[in-house]
Structure 1
Amino acid sequence: MATREVPIPRDPTEDEAFALFKAVEDKFPSQTLGDDKWYVLLLAAIVGGGQPGFAPLLYGELIERPEYQTSEQRQALMRRLRETLFKLIVIVGVCKPLEAIFDIDAITRPEDKDYTFSREDWQCDEANAKRGAAWQGRLYQHDQQGIDDVLASQKDFDWTSKQITYGLYLSDHNILNDVETELTVLSGIMIQNLPRETAWHLRGTRRIGVSREDVETLQQCIELVASFCDLRLHKVPRVADIEHEV
């Protein structure tokens, strides 16, 4: 009986990665959202999309720019990249972000290493729960009750969502602000072709003030990364599909 070999997909090249970086930066709505956010979306999508090995290429490209010519500037950049990857843990799991961290660290100059610990004083306490609930409230508003009703019989998921997903990871905006955090979440979810959660975070991105036109452009940026990663995003909605819920 003949066996069928599973085809091995072709890995993208570095030249293709550089072309992707430029395409995303050019398309990203920097005039309205700021010119320091495109790489947050790109990093979250490319790592979540299964290509964490290109994270150090992005880091190397960024530190060649004029705004990152001192160790202090590169350390600040590292904190932003690390926070993106840290928040991505709760969206895609720990292994892909960890792979990216190891690869980035391997090319980081000793003087550029950043030894700060952003959550050193974190506690799983009432203040943590309130902070997480406040951020959930901005994103979900009246829709939160429907989620709570479902999770009433799934207590472990309810606790994890409130104390860990939002309390520990997503409500901390000390390094990445609210829009940057939601860029990370939306990219990490959409790149997995998840329709329900993508709809929630298209809606959430609109609710924190990003325009309908910009959200559509963000989705187009994520689609560029999906094509690079050889992924299909055929199940996810678009901002026009959820606009009536905003």
Structure 2
Amino acid sequence: MASVPAAKDEVECPPDRTTEEALALFRDIEESFPKSLGEDKWYLIILATLTYGPNPSHIADLYKYLISLPQYSTPASRQALIKRIREGLLKLVSIIGVCKPLLAIWAIGEIEQEEDKDFSCSREGWQADEKNLERGKEWLGKIYRHNMKGNDDKFVAHKDFGWISYNITYGLYLSDHSILDPIETEIIVLGGILIQNLPTVSNFHLRGARRLGISMEDVEAMQVCSEKIAKFCRLRMDKLPRVADIEHEVPWENDMKA
């Protein structure tokens, strides 16, 4: 018997993914994310990529899945968890904009128990001062190294964007490692960029991840995880380089001596 073709609107506007499909994705990423990066980092790649997807409420499904695990069985452990999730979403504001991270944290807030809430503010008292600027420059330097001059040249006639990059994107958001460490921060950044299918900045951060000491194999595994999440979100990731394509750009010592 011939199959019945899907209705046109179902092809163009397929139904939302179900919670069961989301849970299957979480288990797959938990299993396939490189263990050499640490047992508590796998969900960061999901957080970074799934938040950009069409339904940020799936972040609430991720939160529910996480707090069902034994390591998050106490209020204290769940408070520590939400601080990490919140910090990841905060960093994503600089990568994908504010609206989707905001909807994601609100979705978690709808199901969060009172005893599990953390009322701290990580950026309380922050100042756009010289110390903040120097921290931003230092972290930019670790990611871009000798490539920074090429980037800075692009800002000569667009100084507002240079100011934002140093003071806000890196100074305020990405160089603060008080909650998420440098590797965890780069997992968030790389995932948040890859899911947008942006080849140039993906190149920058595939290279940056390697410069922070993440192995080629682990960077490739993170990209594969991102592709699985993109498929779940019905988003394309077909324009991007692989880590093997940029490996020749990673070393900087010889360039610095030249």
TM superposition score normalised by structure 1: 0.96
Aligned-pair CA distance for 1:8: 1.7
Whether the 8 Å CA contact 1:49–1:192 is kept in 2: the answer is: no
Structure 2: which 5+ residue stretches go unaligned? 1-7, 251-258
Q: Which residue of 2 aligns with 1:57?
A: 61
Matches within 5 A, 1:98-113: 98-113=102-117
Letter of the 1:24 counterpart: I
Cα distance, 1:49 vs structure 2: 2.4
**Deviation sequence 1:149-174 (CA, Å, 0-9, x none):** 11111101000000000000000000
- Displacement, 1:11? 1.1
Query: Which of 212, 215, 225 does residue 216 from structure 2 map onto?
Result: 212
Quote the Cα distance in structure 2 between the aligned partners of 1:200 and 1:51. Answer: 27
CA drift of 1:70 comes to 1.3
Pairs within 5 Å for 1:41-120: 41-120=45-124
Q: Distance in 2 between matches of 1:129 and 1:177?
A: 19
Q: Which residue of 2 aligns with 1:154?
A: 158
Q: 2:19 aligns with which of 14, 29, 49?
A: 14
Any idea what SS the aligned residue of 1:48 has? coil
Moved over 6 A (4+): none
Per-residue Cα deviation, 1:68-114 (whole angstroms, up to 9, x for no partner): 11111100000000000000011001000000000000100011111
Q: For 1:130-165, what per-residue CA distance to the aligned partner results, in whole angstroms no more than 9, with x for missing partners? A: 000000000000000100011111101000000000
SS at match of 1:233: coil
CA deviations over 1:27-74 (Å, ceiling 9, x no partner): 1001x1001000011111001123311011111111111111111110
Q: Kindly state the Cα deviation for residue 26 of structure 1 after the two structures are TM-superposed.
A: 0.8
- Counterpart Cα distance in 2 of 1:173 and 1:41: 17
Pair member with larger Rg = 2
Residue 198 of structure 1 and its aligned partner are, at CA, apart by: 0.4
In structure 1, distance between residues paired with 2:37 and 2:225: 14
What's the offset of the Cα at 1:121?
1.7
CA RMSD of aligned residues (A): 1.2
Q: 2:162 is aligned with what amino acid?
A: D
CA distance in 1, matches of 2:229, 2:55: 10
Percent of counterpart pairs with the same letter?
A: 54
Larger CA deviation: 214-223 vs 42-51? 42-51
Choose which of 167, 179, 198 in structure 2 pairs with 1:163.
167
Unaligned runs of 5+ in 1: none
Q: Distance in 2 between matches of 1:50 and 1:119?
A: 28
Taking structure 2 as the reference length, what is the TM-score of the superposition? 0.92
Q: Work out the number of aligned pairs and report it.
A: 242
The 1-side partners of 2:21 and 2:12 are apart by: 21
Q: Which residue of 2 aligns with 1:29?
A: 34
Is contact 1:41–1:184 with CA below 8 Å preserved after alignment?
Answer: yes
Question: C-alpha displacement at 1:7, in angstroms?
Answer: 2.8
Residue 140 of structure 1: aligned partner: 144
